[in-house]
Amino acid sequence: MTQQANDTTKLSRRDFLKLGVGALSALALLEVGGASLMFLQPRSLDGEFGGQVIAGLVESFPVGSVVEFTDGRFYLIHAPDGGFLAVYRRCTHLGCTVSWEPEQNRFFCPCHASSFDIVGDVENPPAPRALDTFPITIDAGQVVVDTATIQTRDNFAPDQLVYA
């Protein structure tokens, strides 16, 4: 009887391979599932587009300046009257990236030649409306831009400026 019990505990080569393939398949499935969960999780976007961007101290932006924040996808404008405005780099026509042209004092879209003045109002169509903006807060002398909230607008209004 010990001989028969010993034979039943032996693992055949076929059963061993089935067990090995099953274990490797389960491991591969766990890895794919884990990678999928990590891909679907939101990431922290502090300092990047879709989160809070600390632009810098109020004093570090000269009046009348336009500073590009590439990671935040916006331009920070310090208007001549001292107010701040953060405009989205995306053209309101077809979504191309606008660039700031300091020699012409305008934003320019290379796709269809739309241009915008220093506060983002349309100067040359086909763009249908002014550049979108992001909310700004001044916290302890720091300019903070919330790129998670896009504010659409038809044109510029002075109440869109934020003052320190």
- What is the domain-level CATH number for residue 90? 2.102.10.10
Give me the torsion for CA of 38, 40, 41, 45, rounded to 10°. 110
- The answer to whether the CB of 136 falls within 8 A of the CB of 145 is yes
Which residues on neighbouring strands pair with residue 48, listed in sequence order? none
Nearest Cα to Cα of residue 104 among 96, 112, 93, 113 = 113
pLDDT digits (tens, 9 = 90+) for 88-105: 999 999 889 999 999 999
Which residues on neighbouring strands pair with residue 90, listed in sequence order? 97
Amino acid in position 159:
D
Which DSSP helix (H) or strand (E) runs through 137? strand 136-139
45: in domain: no
pLDDT at 6: 55
| Pair (28, 66) in one structural domain | no
For 33, phi and psi rounded to 5 degrees?
Answer: -65, -45
| Pair (141, 102) in one structural domain | yes
pTM of the model: 0.69
Nearest Cα to Cα of residue 89 among 108, 111, 105, 104 = 108
Q: Catalogue the long-range contacts made by 153-157 (C-beta closer than 8 Å, 24 or more residues apart).
A: 153/129, 154/129, 154/130, 155/121, 155/122, 155/129, 155/130, 156/117, 156/119, 156/120, 156/121, 156/130
pLDDT at 39: 80
Which DSSP helix (H) or strand (E) runs through 85? strand 84-88
Number of domains forming the structure of the chain: 2
pLDDT at 128: 93
46: in domain: no
The stretches in the chain having pLDDT less than 50 are 1
For 20, phi and psi rounded to 5 degrees?
Answer: -65, -45
pLDDT at 97: 92
Domain hosting 17: range is 2-40
| Pair (139, 109) in one structural domain | yes
| Pair (60, 133) in one structural domain | yes
